[in-house]
Amino acid sequence: MSAAPEKRERPTVDRWASEKLEAGEPISHPRQIRETGHWRLAAWVHKERKRGANIKTLRGPGGIAVYVMPGAGPQGEMFEVGGGAVASSAGDSANGEATEESDGGDHAK
């Protein structure tokens, strides 16, 4: 009888998404599922925006939401004094590259 395969601990949505955005990496739902097995990235982004996180939504090929944090990276900050990101509404570009959309809107109204 062989031993059970070693089970790797999955990072939490909070840890995974925070680390990626703070490092200046764009994140998306398909990437999150692939790398962590977790769902509900949009809910996490919504919660963080309510806390003041500066997270923008771009649209990738096929309309997939891609989340970025402007100014993130080695000197970036996840939270800025004065609130979250604001961007104009747009869809997919003609060439299929990610385009700016919005800060996620206010779904609670």
Strand ranges of the sheet holding 56-59, from the earlier edge strand across to the other edge: 27-28, 65-68, 56-59, 99-100
Read off the pTM.
0.62
pLDDT in tens, 46-72: 999 999 999 999 998 899 999 999 987
Domain ranges of the chain: 13-100
- The pLDDT of residue 90 is 34
pLDDT in tens, 11-51: 889 999 999 999 999 999 999 999 999 889 999 999 999 99
List the one residue out of 105, 102, 98 whose CA is nearest residue 89.
102
- On the question of pLDDT at 80 being above 60, the answer is no
